[in-house]
Amino acid sequence: MVWRPLNLSEVCPTHTHLSACSHFAYVYLNLLVQLYGDSRDRRLSEKIEREDDTVVQKIMSYEHRREEYDFIVVGAGAAGCVVANRLSQNKKWKVLLLEAGPEQPDVSLVPGLSTVLLGSNVDWAYTTEPDGKSCLASRGGRCAWPRGKMMGGSSAINSLAYIRGSRLDYDTWADLGNVGWSYKDVLPYFKKSERNLNFEGLDRKYHGVTGEQYISRYPYFDKPSIMITDAFHERGLPLTDYNGAHQIGAMQAQSIALDGERISTNTAFIRPIRFKRKNLTVKPNSEAVKILIDEHKRAYGVKYIKNNLIYTAFAKKEVIVSGGPINAPKLLMLSGIGPRDQLEKAGIEVIKDLAVGENLHDHVTFNGIIIVVPNNTATLRTNDEVLQEVIDYHNMDIKRGPLSGNGAVSSVSFIKTEPDLPAPDIQYQVDSIKWREYVKEPIDYDRTRIYPTGFYDGLIPRTMNLVPYSRGKLCLNTSDPNGHPLLYANYYDDERDLIPLIKGVRFLLSLEGTEAFKKMGAHFLRVKLPACRDYEWGTDEYIVCLARHYTSTPYHPVGSCKMGPKWDEKAVVDPRLRVYGISGLRVIDSSIMPIVPRGNTNAPSIMVGERGVALVIEDWTQNNHQK
């Protein structure tokens, strides 16, 4: 099997009432492994190898031949899959795509099972370092930072929402000196990838219909999800297309899905071409551990590990790092590119002193504001019904039912907490829970979210700060540089980040007076979570306590290989995404974002892949450079 789920024996407390730690949970996970633990890509690869003996011969002779390519792309995530696809369109260019994780497992295709991927073998399972200001109730003061470790990367493990952010975000990038990254510049690249299936009512100026990345609304929405959108609408937010002319508003967000299945960038950009383009080589389970750089400070290849063996691949033109906001800076530092003091402490020769790992930041939010959904409208299922829903979804040719959606996660809204703000500063995105279990053990509940997102009797509408001032950093672990890096999220280091959250929760609590809530009989649960018992529920002090103790994140870290002009001391790459001081090396992923966009980061990461690879192609085809 390709997929191994979360090990409940490692994360479940000794004495607990959580249903995720029950005997049934083991039965349920075993069923998921049996039905969805394999991979379509693995099966296809095996079939092609059986039909073509030459493929097998090539695989068997890897260590006996020189691996030489025009381009090496490290990381098959949201951006890397796009980059590899576009480069391999040129039949004269040989392209290698390396991915540290396995083939994308079938379980990742099921929208309603998105949370069961967290903590499994396709999650890097990173955690932040304790800072005394956030994540205080979490074990060891550490917040989880899941990242996808498989073909498709985090586009195969995320909550599937397709939201680009505000026009202002990209205009700000350009204002910081990043020529070519204004909203006007990047909009064509958003549209290029997009194949929007819900085009009715959407402005064609902002959307594409011929790209590889399918965008659609789920075939299944439940009543509590619609209630949330209706309540925000009743409170004055227009029903809107977040990715069009105006971002303020409420709606059931579109997703990276087709007919009730996830469409990761692996599914969209790699699977259709993987065994058809002879100039594209894809290697899963192959972790790059070093970029090779010669005495002229030119990148000429990479070392990678596959099956515990070290291989070397050479690049005649460029090495392109698309490992994401954690693995990209880590690989640069392991290769001698990064802060001098860090590299010297780790015993790594300094090739280029750059601010790699700085400017790390993320949207910050928190848990603990709970909406109770009455029994007559709750979507809970019995254990037998849960198993049957899982089996039924598996047996459907066209996927429908609760697992073809993602619970209330797509109930997304944007507001401005002050009328004179130029763009929204708060996003609401909703998680579904069993509220009686959650209030007793909130931390352990979050660590063991294995059941389908569509079955619940409570909602946590998370108030997210879209414009954080706080900045963290990523450092190598000097005792084990090749292991997980040290992630200093530094949430709430700048206390101004708490102000939008307080105002956002005040607006959120006003939903209780809407007709949408009253018709459903929904209400906010006025029960204080354990770490905040000393504060009055609903006060500013209580909200701050929740934010600091029950800190959470939508998993949108960016900025650790900051894009910026030459005079920017924190910049790692220039506006053409070339690493400063090293030729033949670029970073193309969300780590280059100087400021996180106001929204989810999957769509912007795909755009960065499109815009970045267009720059690569332009550089190698202009002035007769193409060979």
Catalytic residues: 556
Helix (H, G, I), strand (E, B) or coil at 240: coil
Rounded to 5, what percent of the chain is helix, strand, coil? 35, 20, 45
* Residue 225 neighbours by CB under 8 Å, 6+ apart: 252, 405, 407, 408, 410, 411, 430
| DSSP secondary structure code for residue 333 in this structure | H
User: In which element (H, E) is residue 319 found?
Assistant: strand 309-321
Other beta carbons within 10 angstroms of residue 309's beta carbon come to 9
H or E segment at 310? strand 309-321
Q: Which strand (E) or helix (H) includes residue 372?
A: strand 371-372
Contacts of 236 (CB under 8 A, 6+ apart): none
**Which value, to the nearest 10 degrees, does the dihedral of the CA atoms of residues 546, 254, 154, 209 take?**
-160
Residues contacting 565, CB < 8 A, separation 6+: 176, 177, 178, 571, 574, 575
For tokens 């480069």, the residue is 87
Give the Å distances, CA to CA, from 536 to 503, 533, 557: 17, 8, 32
Q: What angle do CA 113, 118, 121 make, to 5 degrees?
A: 105
- On whether the CB atoms of residues 424 and 415 are closer than 8 A, the answer is yes
d(CA 319, CA 332) in angstroms, rounded, equals: 11
Nearest one of 72, 68, 66 to 585, comparing CA atoms: 72
- Count, residues in the chain: 627
Strands (E), 532-602: 551-552, 585-587
What gap in Å lies between CA 218 and CA 252, rounded to an integer?
A: 9
C-alpha 97/C-alpha 322 separation (Å) is: 10
In angstroms, rounded to a whole number, what is the distance separating the alpha carbons of residues 366 and 307?
Answer: 40
Measured over the CA atoms of residue 194, residue 552, residue 414 and residue 375, the dihedral's sign is positive
Q: What is the DSSP string of 91-110?
A: TT--EEEE-SS-SPPGGGG-
Q: Which of 370, 366, 388, 374 is nearest to 438 (CA)?
A: 370
Whole-angstrom distance, CA of residue 466 vs CA of residue 169:
11
**What is the CB neighbour count within 10 angstroms for residue 526?**
9
Which H or E element spans position 463?
strand 458-465
Q: Residue 128 has which token pair?
A: 């932040």
Rounded CA gap, 384 and 79, in Å?
40
How many helices (H) and strands (E) the chain has is answered by 18, 25
Output phi, psi for 315, to 5 deg: -120, 120
Which tokens go with 610? 């499109």
Cα separation, 82 vs 216, in Å, equals 19
In three-state secondary structure terms, 430 is strand
What's the rounded Cα separation, in Å, for the pair 386 and 380? 9
